[in-house]
Structure 1
Amino acid sequence: MTEETNTGADVPPDHLAINPNSPFFDEEKLKRGVGIRFKGTVRTNVEEYSISEGWVRVQAGKTLDRKGNPLTVKLQGPVEAWYEDLGEDAPVAKI
């Protein structure tokens, strides 16, 4: 990943969630595949992220809340996101 940017059609949104009940859910963007790097490590278990606020939410084991949704933990740190369908040289959204 070479190009770094914060806006544009080929850059994921600042805040995105995989839960359909979230106001930050966007099925079209998720279908493209969004790669997440958190604290320098590529993560595949991110439920929600915010680049500008610097956090990700990940599932806390197999525990469920009272509504049957996975219980999540908010982790603070630098977040980078890119669309996986653009290949190796995809623009990266980060602060």
Structure 2
Amino acid sequence: MEEATPPTAAPSRPELPDHLSADPRSPHHVAAVFEHDIGIRFNGKERHDVEEYCISEGWIKVPASKTVDRKGQPLMLKLKGKVEAFYR
């Protein structure tokens, strides 16, 4: 008689890092985290335009409108405050 295998659980989500960047060229980019839907709450409000964050230092980086640098990358503004990262 064969034993039944337990049902496979949904793949576990990796722990959210303290410092995360959406730019794949950054050393703080973790591709496994971006396979799931991530939310960022900044000073109590959910933000959808965050490109990079650091929870321990309390800052986020967001694009400065449509302004780009000479390499075509968006210019970033660094905003300081309370940062919370979570999975949706």
Using CA pairs under 8 Å that are at least 6 residues apart, name the structure with larger relative contact order, 1 or 2: 1
How far apart, CA to CA, are the structure 2 residues paired with 1:19 and 1:49? 12
| Structure 1 residue identity aligned to 2:20 | L
What residue in structure 2 maps to residue 35 of structure 1? 39
TM-score by length of 1: 0.75
- Alignment pair present for 1:26 and 2:62: no
The DSSP-based 3-state class of the residue aligned with 1:19 is coil
Alpha-carbon RMSD across the aligned residues, in angstroms, is 1.2
Q: Whose Rg is larger? A: 2
Structure 1 residue ranges without an equivalent (≥5):
1-8, 85-95
TM-score by length of 2: 0.81
What residue in structure 2 maps to residue 70 of structure 1? 74
Answer whether contact 2:14 2:33 (CA < 8 A) is retained.
Answer: no
Answer whether contact 2:51 2:60 (CA < 8 A) is retained.
Answer: yes
Task: Could you list the structure 1 runs, at least 4 aligned residues long, displaced by more than 2 angstroms after superposition.
Answer: none
What residue in structure 2 maps to residue 14 of structure 1? 18
1:83 is displaced (CA, Å) by 1.4
The DSSP-based 3-state class of the residue aligned with 2:40 is strand
Percent pairwise identity = 51
Answer whether contact 1:11 1:83 (CA < 8 A) is retained.
Answer: no
Answer whether contact 1:55 1:79 (CA < 8 A) is retained.
Answer: yes
